[in-house]
Each structure stands twice: as structure tokens, then as C-alpha cells.
Homo-oligomer: A and B are copies of this chain.
Amino acid sequence: MQVKINGQMREIRAVQMKNHIVEMIDQRLLPFKIKIQQLPTWQDTVKAIKNLVTRGAGSVGVAGAFAIAQAANEITDTLVAAFEHQLEEAAQIISQARPTAGTLSAAVKFCLESATKGVTTEEKQRLIDKAAQQIQSADIHASESLGKKGSELLKPGSRVLTHCNTGPLAIQDYGSALAVIYFAHLAGNLSLVYISETRPWLQGSRLTTWELQQWEIPHQLIIDSACGYFFSKNLIDAVIVGADRIAVNGDVANKIGTYEKAVLAHVHKVPFYVAAPIFAIDINCPSGDQIAIEERPPREVRTVIGRLPTGDMGTVQVAPDHTEAANPIFDITPAKYVTGIITEQGVLTKINTKNIQKLVSKSQTSSG
């Protein structure tokens, strides 16, 4: 994406690799400071993934692929057995940098499998490099494709509500839900984006606002619980969100707060779309009931991260010490509330297990 850094426009990506040096936009400092981290070794990249320098399903997967490519490149042993042993060790560590990120382990696995076709260590290194670049290219292709296809759903003058962060910081080059918004904007059909702030981490306030500002797309930030008000005033024409995981029956696991918006959209007869690359569909998960909801520390509810009066990033405490808090970070939106699932293969509106299975197998054929 085009970003103004020190007064100059630069084309940058959330995660990229040049000459086996990984570059990452430090998302922890956004939107207040744009800092590109240079990560010369695979261990540096692992540390950055662990420390949330980058985040988002796509970016974490790409970072993992680049890390394994760095690792392969750094192994000087030319004995294949020794090379493979060291690579396997690195792969384990990389996959564990974010144990619950499906795209991370999938990316590492894909790169390792690609290497098996090589005979020498040099060949394996080259194949892993290629596989890592493929993962990035696949994201870019999926993002552009689903963005363009999804954008056709929006009529001129559309006012869209989105939640959390689903833009180029999360999935290259345009995001998922935000890719749809971007291409609708290019087509001149977008009038306004409502961004819900997305407590507890405020990805809406900190990241989505920043992305829409880079793209110069009109937006308004609102608190999470104001969404109902804007529905009641008929100010929302469509909801578009991303997905952390889609079950085969079409139930959607996504950032906490998604479910509420789906219920509100349903009650107000507003279409509710889920935009995600096909990799978000979990073919082994029959329904949302099977998805365990991660709970994170109560501390995140008792505090808020942001820019302190000193200019540094830090937290304020907003509740008494030791206040009990529940902090589920995802919720499940049942398929019945989803108007359409937007993927790189098109928009699925007849959502059921058979059609989703068909979609996934079609995608495997086309990419295989």
C-alpha cells in the first residue's frame, strides 16, 4: 500500500522479504508511528511474530513462510540429512510462535513439503524461497479477487459497517472485508465506512482508521455499542466483516462483537457479509459448536492501550485492581445470519455444508 513516511509516499507491505531480510511494519506503534522493522535472521522474525509486531491471518502466515525461507538460507550444512534436521527444528519453533494461528503452521508446512521435491540443499533452499513467495502471491491474488467480486454487491452510495482490522495490515494487498470496501470505493459506490472500535485491543481505532486514511476512504469511528443506534437510524446499508475461521456449515468464528452485529443486521434487514480467503474455511470443522472460544487475561478488559501523554505507547487502567472480567476474544455467528460469504471464488449466498465443500474442492483444483 502507498504510505506517507517522512513526507514521502512509499509502497510498502505489512510483511515483505528482500535478499532474505524480512521487513515488517511494526503494528504495535500504529497509528502514531510508522516504523519498519528489519529482521535479518529467522530468529528475529520468530521473535517479531511472537511479540505481535505483525498480526492478522495473512500477515502471520506470510511472515512464517519468510522465516522458514530465512532459516533454510542460513543453514550452511550441505549434507541433506543435517540440513533437513536443522530445518525441521526451525519449522517447529516458527510454528509455535503463535500456536493458534492456523495460517502460520499451514505456511510452514507448505514450504517444507515443497522442499521435498529438491534433491540438493541448494535446490531445497530455492524451492522453499519459491514456496514462500507463492504464499504471499496467493494472498495478494485472493485479496484482490475477493475484493473485486465482493464490491459488486454494493450499490452506489453504500454506507458500510465493519469491525476489527481486515485490511492490508492483516492480509496483503487489500485485506478481506476491507478489500471489498476498497474496490467499492474505486468503483465510486462507497459513501461512508463506520468502523467499530473493537475493544479490548481497539484494532478498529488503531489500525482500520489508519488504513482507510492511507486510501482516503471516508469513515467514521464509533464505539462498539453504538452500532445498534446507527442501524436504528437506517444509516447502515451493509455489514462486511472478516473471519478467523469458517465451519463447513457456514458458521463464522470472528472477533468478539461480530455476532451482535449479525443479529442487529438481521433484525434491521441489512445484508451481513463475511469476506475471507478460502484458507479461512476449516473443512474439518462441521459447525460453530465445535469451535473452542479462546479466553484471554482479564487484565485486557481492565486496561486500554494507546498513546500516553508522554508520547509513548502504554496502558491506562480503567477498572479497580483485581476486578473479575471475562475476556472471550471470538464469537460464533450462525450461518443463518450470514447473507453471503465472499471469497476469491466469488460470493456464496446459498450457504450450506454441500456448497461450502464444493467451494473448497473447486479452489483446491484451481490452485493445484
Contact = CB atoms under 8 A, between A and B. Distances in A.
Interface string A210-240: 1001000011111111111110100000000
A257 B227 CA distance: 8
A225 B226 contact: no
A104 to B, nearest CB: 25
A50 interface: no
30 contacts: A31-B319, A31-B320, A32-B317, A196-B225, A205-B301, A205-B319, A206-B318, A209-B323, A220-B326, A221-B298, A221-B301, A221-B319, A221-B324, A223-B256, A224-B257, A225-B256, A225-B260, A226-B327, A229-B331, A232-B332, A267-B267, A304-B306, A304-B318, A305-B318, A306-B318, A308-B308, A308-B314, A308-B316, A309-B314, A316-B316
A304 B202 CA distance: 11
Interface string A24-41: 000000011000000000
A259 B268 CA distance: 13
Interface in A288-340: 293, 298, 301-309, 314-320, 323-328, 331-332
A199 interface: yes
A286 interface: no
Given A222-B326, A224-B223, A256-B223, A316 B305 contact: yes
A325 B303 CA distance: 22
Contacts of A320: 31-32, 209-210, 213
A219 B32 CA distance: 35
B263 A267 contact: yes
Interface of A: 31-32, 194, 196-200, 202, 205-206, 209-210, 213, 218-230, 232, 256-257, 259-260, 263-264, 267, 293, 298, 301-309, 314-320, 323-328, 331-332
A317 B205 CA distance: 10
A259 B228 contact: yes
Interface pairs A-B: 8 shortest CB-CB = A225-B257, A306-B316, A228-B260, A224-B225, A221-B325, A306-B318, A205-B319, A199-B223
Given A306-B304, A332-B232, A318 B256 contact: no
A332 B324 CA distance: 30
Contacts of A226: 256-257, 326-328, 331
Nearest to A227: B260
A233 to B, nearest CB: 9
Given A206-B318, A305-B316, 6 more contacts: A199-B224, A220-B325, A223-B256, A228-B259, A228-B263, A304-B318
Contact of A301 (B222, B263, B293, B314): B222
Residue in A220, A318, A326, A328 whose Cβ sees the most chain B Cβ within 10 Å:
A318
Contacts of A332: 232
A79 B256 CA distance: 66
Contacts of A200: 223
Given A221-B325, A323-B221, A326-B222, A205 B318 contact: yes
